[in-house]
Structure 1
Amino acid sequence: MPVYKVNVKWNSKKFNDLEIDTDASPQDFKALLFSLTGVPPDRQKVMMPGGLLGDTSYDKIRLRNGATVMLMGSVDEPPSTTSVESADPVAQVRKDRKKPSLPVGIVNLGNTCYMNSALQLLFTIPEFRAFLKILPAESLSSMNMESRNVVNTLRLTFELLERTNEPVVPFAFLDALHAAFPQFATLERGDSNPIGGISRYQQQDANECWIEIVRVLQQVTLDSSTLSSSQNIPESFGTEGGWNLVSRFLTGRLVSTLTCTEGDEPPQESVDTFSQLSCFIDKDVKYLHTGLRNGLEGTLTKNSESLEREAVYKKVSQISRLPGYLCVQFIRFFYKEKNQINAKVLKDVKFPLSLDLYEFCAKDLQAKLLPQREKARAEDEAEAMAVKARKVDASKEEEPSNPEDNPELYDPYWLSDDLGSSATGLYELQGVLSHQGRKSVGHYVAWIKRRGSWFKMDDQQVSETTDEEILKLSGGGEWHSAYLLLYGPRRVKKTITTPRDA
């Protein structure tokens, strides 16, 4: 079926030349309407020539280029109580008690745990959620339709994860992902006709899914007019437009030096960017720091122009820019040529809940990090003194203020001349993506931290867990092994209070 351009009327607004791909799911078009109007798909009534648009197909819909489509639906939920009830504090307390304490899961549509876990990990980054909320449709105009649909349905999925109490069914995002990246739509052997088009897809690699989503988001920028007209946006967005979400918050920079060990030739320097650091695993790697160091230091063999032959070079890389959010991949999968199978490294590699990358930074960056590192150290000392003074276990302390809820209490986590970077080199673990079993038939799970508590996001099944259980994801057996780690910025309070000050 063809692609049409239609005009959509909603209240007093009109949106011209919107594309409808009738081979795609109607939910994709509803996701586009959501991005333009803010009306969630479950509250949309889309009147087209031929009838009301459903959720599964364009059957009986008679479209043509230039056709007018009517959208009905409101942005806000209609009030469920009277104004008297809303003003009643007792009623409000009862309402608050009914609010779910657990995050919302995502339904597995048949070997889609890789996608669900990647989405849950990405959802933990507040700047990504805020970016998608204010992103105007015009910002996607230069992208192809497949990439636009990925962004629009990602926005829809995040919106549902924020406002619903029930597990999210990601049909629209899965369709968009398959259209943009057909490798994820590969069927299991013998399943050329899957029932309903789902439940028989091959298992895929969660990190590959993460990378493809990030690459799509890398194509999107915000302009200054959107920033100036938006309210309650993160301070890290600044006021100037033209920047990219991934480059600002998830991308670091490496300065590498290549030195010949067999001849007297000048060192070669290069600059590269990264959106992930790799933890290489061998028999000597027992800790994350060791694996990271192995990835930043090593030797390689290449042709030497001065020696006119192959020579051994030593490569040393240092970090010259740390992103506010750091993704680390454990290199656990490899291909065995002899057996022609994908194998998995089960080795136990321990990782910390708090990560310090200062030692891996270039000297000029280390100098920039020192002021906030000193303040973070002073904050830790003040907290230790407060615990000792009260003679209570730190676990019994009142829940600390949350930086996301009370940003005014905290210093910016970025350097003053580099929005979205890290100003300390200190990180706190906020998400883990784990794998259990063999690569082709295993299972992925996301583990996320929200307001001081850890949760296991096993598709639609959500349960609370502990720091101790998170640290058990280090591998070494048949239990879940950490595959991706997502660290967020260490936040430092503006005012540090000691027991003497209190």
Structure 2
Amino acid sequence: MPTVSVKWQKEVFPAVEIDTSQPPLVFKCQLYDLTGVPPERQKIMVKGGLLKDDADWSTIGLKEGQKLMMMGTADEVLKAPEKAIVFMEDLPEAEQAVAVGHTAGLYNLGNTCYMNSTIQCLHSVPELKSALTKYPGRTNELDQTTHLLTVATRELFNDLDRSVQPVSPVRFLGELRKKYPQFAQMHNGTYMQQDAEECWTQLMYTLSQSLTVSDSRENIKAVKELFGVDLVSRVHCAESGEESSEAESVYQLKCHISHEVNHLHEGLKHGLKTELEKVSPSLGRTAVYTKESRINDLPRYLTVQFVRFFWKRESSQKAKILRKVDYPLELDVYDLCSDELRKKLEGPRQVLRDEEGKKLGLKPSDKNSGSKDTDVKMNDAEGASNGSGETSNATSQEGKFGKLFICNRPKCENRI
């Protein structure tokens, strides 16, 4: 193979070998390694003009020791980063938790997983943490145990925010057991397992009491706006023809599980239709009434309980249902809402449909563009205080409509 010298700017590279069995592009790649000038920017002067990438070496008349002239601008030399790159997996465990936004865990103080899961779920709600921070303290309307449990909740949330190491919820557990002795039940010298849903319900009741007596306008209905579900119900008796309507507010929807329920949505439908017995004024005796409920207002955070217990009459004890129930990452409860709420939701739902359609390259629909009744602004739907039911799509992703909490950690019982 012949050798040549190449002059580039003020530098000369002697004894550069050329493999004439390969096209000139290979030679240019060699020069790229030496000079940093990419092949597409190289202009090499040879007999007859510039050296082309696919030229035939035999027609160029290359001689041993010939000097070639190259012109071209080299790529910018990469500089080493001023600060060394540290990969996530190389960080200490505590720093990894901070980097990815994970909060500290909670120590299990003896069958307290029901309490820990409830606390971690509530701790993920920034609006609740803000309301607790603004809690002014005990007033004459509050009993001492409610006040102390609220303060313990606030302090535990603060500990979780400040620490990356597991936190021991000793004070909170003590105040919880003082307020609700059922969580202090013992069996053979050991604290018994309890139901996460019961812990959630009791804590919701406590916070709804303490965070609604504040003079601060933001705290007047903090818990209700965040978690409250307004229901309207039709109660009727097929036997007597009596019919009445009721309104109530709850902090969770119940997914009743039976052999026919395979999906969360089916369980919620079952939970909104119940039968009850009460005295009928027209019949003068007890009769069976059917209660059919519809959602009339939705919160920012929708809580759903999987009702996995039923009472076994033959053994007079609770049994746990182990049937698998699927649930989606995004839950649409539009068909479970009242007619009034559906009207308010139609505008925001159309906006979402149009946005999804844009992603698929579809044109926005003008179906409701001229309707004043359904022209609801998105910011109206996102505010919990205006009763517009922003969470028709209660999801596990914050920032779209709402967030879905699933309560599925009951205490251990007999299973079927």
1:332 equivalent in alignment to 2:299: no
User: Is 2:119 the counterpart of 1:125?
Assistant: no
Counting only pairs closer than 5 Å after superposition, residues 276-315 of structure 1 correspond to structure 2 as 276-315=252-291
Return the alpha-carbon distance in structure 2 between the equivalents of residues 253 and 293 of structure 1: 16
Q: Secondary structure of 2:345's partner?
A: helix
Aligned: 1:377 with 2:376? no
**Tell me, what secondary structure is at the counterpart of 1:137?**
coil
* 1:205 correspondence with 2:205: no
Q: Counterparts of 1:424 and 1:268 in 2: how far apart (Å)?
A: 28
1:164 counterpart letter in structure 2: S
User: What is the CA-CA distance between 1:334 and the residue it aligns to?
Assistant: 2.5
Contact preservation (8 Å) 2:211, 2:223: no
Give me the whole-angstrom Cα distance separating, in 2, the residues matched to 1:210 and 1:416.
24
Post-superposition Cα deviations, 1:339-383, rounded to whole Å, max 9, x if no partner, equal: 233310001111111111111111111111111111122222234
What do the CA deviations read for 1:169-194 (whole angstroms, capped 9, x no partner)? 111111111111111112222x2xxx
Does residue 220 of structure 1 match 2:205? no
- The match for 2:294 is 318
Select 1:438's aligned residue among 395, 412, 416: 412
Q: Hey, what's the Cα distance between the residues in 2 that align with 1:417 and 1:115?
A: 27
C-alpha deviation, 1:203, in angstroms: 1.1
**Following superposition of structure 1 onto structure 2, how do residues 77-156 of structure 1 map, counting pairs within 5 Å?**
90=83, 98-100=95-97, 101=100, 102-137=102-137, 142-156=141-155
1:243-254 alignment runs, 5 A limit? 243-254=220-231
Give the residue type in structure 2 aligned to 1:208.
E
The verdict on how the C-alpha distance between 1:283 and 1:145 changes in structure 2, with shifts beyond 3 A counting, is same
From the superposition, tell whether residues 137 and 130 of structure 1 become closer, same or farther in structure 2 (CA, over 3 Å).
same
Instruction: Determine the C-alpha separation between the residues in 2 that align with 1:142 and 1:299.
Output: 37
Q: Is the 8 A contact 2:304 2:406 kept in 1?
A: no
**Unaligned 5+ residue runs, structure 2?**
1-81, 363-376, 397-403
State the superposition RMSD in angstroms: 3.2
Which among 257, 266, 269 is matched to residue 245 of structure 2? 269
| Residues 351-360 or 415-424, more deviating | 415-424
Instruction: Indicate conservation of the 8 Å contact 1:249/1:421, yes or no.
Output: no
Kept in 1, the 8 Å contact 2:136–2:214? The answer is no
Query: Hey, what does 1:22 align to over in structure 2?
Result: none
Q: Alpha-carbon deviation of 1:216?
A: 0.6
Cα distance in 1, alignment partners of residues 133 and 234 from structure 2: 41
* Percent identity of paired positions between Structure 1 and Structure 2: 34
In 2, are the aligned partners of 1:187 and 1:202 still within 8 Å (CA)?
Answer: yes
Deviation at 1:94, TM superposition (A): 9.9
Residues in 2 aligned to 1:118 and 1:417: alpha-carbon distance in whole angstroms: 22
Alignment of 1:23-102 (within 5 A): 90=83, 98-100=95-97, 101=100, 102=102
Report how many aligned residue pairs link the two structures.
307
Letter in 1 for 2:413: K
Task: Please name the residue that 2:187 is paired with.
Answer: 188
- Return the offset for 1:105: 1.0
Contact 1:321 1:421 in 2 (8 A): yes
Shift of 1:384: 4.2
Give 1:178's aligned amino acid.
R
Question: In 1, are the aligned partners of 2:298 and 2:391 still within 8 Å (CA)?
Answer: no
Q: Radius of gyration: which is bigger?
A: 2
The match for 1:418 among 378, 385, 390 is: 385
Q: Deviations along 1:187-226, whole A, 9 cap, x unmatched?
A: 222x2xxxxxxxx311111111111111110112368875
Stretch moving more, 429-438 or 91-100: 91-100
**TM-score normalised by L of structure 1:** 0.55
Aligned letter for 2:193?
Answer: Q
Query: Residue 309 and residue 183 in structure 1: after superposition, are their counterparts in 2 closer, same or farther (change >3 A)?
Result: closer
Q: Which letter maps to 2:112?
A: T
Tell me the amino acid that sits aligned with residue 390 of structure 2: A
For the structure 1 residues 281 and 433, does the alpha-carbon distance in structure 2 shift closer, same or farther, using more than 3 Å as the test?
A: closer
SS at match of 1:375: helix
Q: For 2:191, what is the secondary structure of its paired residue?
A: coil
Shift of 1:435: 3.5
Distance (Å, rounded) in 2 between the aligned partners of 1:146 and 1:348: 39
- Distance (Å, rounded) in 1 between the aligned partners of 2:85 and 2:155: 28
Q: Tell me if the contact between 1:104 and 1:164 (Cα under 8 Å) persists in the aligned partners.
A: yes
Report 1:351-366 matches (<5 A).
351-366=327-342
Letter in 2 for 1:180: K
Task: Give SS of 1:320's match.
Answer: strand
**Offset of 1:320 from its aligned partner?**
1.2
User: How many angstroms apart in 2 are the aligned matches of 1:317 and 1:256?
Assistant: 4
For 1:437 and 1:311, locate their aligned partners in 2 and report how far apart those are by CA, in whole Å. Answer: 35
Which residue of the partner structure matches residue 168 of structure 2? 169
CA contact (8 A) 2:196 2:410 kept: no
Inter-partner Cα distance in structure 2 for 1:157 and 1:225: 24
> Quick one: distance in 2 between partners of 1:169 and 1:119?
12
For 2:247, give the aligned amino acid.
Answer: V
Separation in structure 2 between the aligned mates of residue 144 and residue 310 of structure 1, nearest angstrom: 39
Per-residue deviation, 1:162 = 1.4
Consecutive unaligned residues in structure 1, runs of 5 or more: 1-88, 192-199, 227-239, 387-409, 443-476, 478-502
Quote how far apart the aligned CAs of 1:116 are: 0.5
Identify the residue that residue 157 of structure 1 maps to in structure 2: 156
Match of 2:47 in 1: none
User: Structure 1: how far apart are the matches of 2:235 and 2:136?
Assistant: 44
Cα distance in 2 between the residues matched to 1:343 and 1:252: 28
Aligned mate of 2:325, from 349, 372, 380: 349
Structure 2 contact 228–299 (Cα < 8 Å) conserved? yes
Structure 2 distance, partners of 1:427, 1:153, is 29
